[in-house]
Amino acid sequence: MTGFFNGIATAMITPFDKNGVNLEEFGKMIEYQIEGGTDALVVLGTTGEPATMTEAEKESVITYAVKKAAGRIKIIVGTGSNDTAKAVAASVRAEKLGADGVLAVTPYYNKCTQKGLYEYYKAICDAVKIPVIAYNVPSRTAVNVLPETAEKLASIPNMAGIKEASGNMAQVCETMRRIRGKMDLYSGEDFLNLPMLAIGGAGLISVASNIAPKLLKKMYTLVQENKLKEANEVQDFLLPFEDACFVEVNPIPVKAAYNMIGFNAGVPRSPLTELEDKNKQILLQAIKNAGLKTYD
């Protein structure tokens, strides 16, 4: 299927405090995204640190996000696992709690075959009626969705697209060629947002848009208007900031960035650590250079 969402989706962080998930602050972040023109929110994706959250915390985040969004913005829930049964159960729960769609990362650690990937996504799609987006990020999972597998996945009725974060543009172009008109391609690499849109990507699932949603939406809109020169200017302006958002492993920098612009994001959960001091200065300067107000 195509057309589930076009535009900008933010891969949301989860703010924590000493009591657990800080839902009040999460609500402020959701409003910030809506005001910034974001089209969808991904909650409990990699950036949201679900690996260190309890099932009760995950359910509270989904429930709160759906209620807070109140239909103003699509809520997509991260449900992937290295256990197909768990991924199916998480997807069913997300649908019951009101999610508009799910984003399922490829099974990690197990290193399944391409046939295993197809069966994994087929099981998820068969279990729910809402749209399903595959998430290809080999650097984290050691599994790569090959273009021919993506093409096969596109035949599943509620398979809505693939978030591509392989970093391999030759592969991305071949995937786009095979799925064009059958399911959508979403950029999962902020530094490749513009080229992925230029080959026909439907949108971005972005980490950087946590902090700069208006700028990411501006770049997306310019591409849709065929103003590639202006879109390149925005992308050139954004690249140093986007690089700084990954100065350490995601979501360490973007969580620190939220704190820098006036939110109470807390700190990452162990085994992730706080951003190192030397990198705080790099990130802070990048945020200022992007024209964003800071509270340093």
Q: Which residues are catalytic?
A: 135, 163
β-strand pairing of 203-206 with 132-136: unpaired
- The torsion angles phi and psi of 21, rounded to 5 degrees, stand at -80, 130
- Burial class from Cβ neighbours inside 10 Å (0-12, 13-18, 19+) for residue 229 reads exposed
Q: For the chain, how long is the longest CA-to-CA vector?
A: 50
Angle among Cα 121, 125, 126 to the nearest 5 degrees reads 115
Q: How many CA atoms lie within 13 A of 145 on its CB side?
A: 34
**Integer Cα distance of 71 and 31 in angstroms:** 13
Tell me the one-letter amino acid at 216: L
d(CA 133, CA 185): 9
Give dist(CA 16, CA 110) in Å, integer.
Answer: 30
Kind of pairing between the strands at 203-206 and 101-105: unpaired
Q: Strands, E, within the chain: which ranges?
A: 7-11, 16-17, 20-21, 40-43, 74-78, 101-105, 132-136, 159-164, 184-187, 203-206
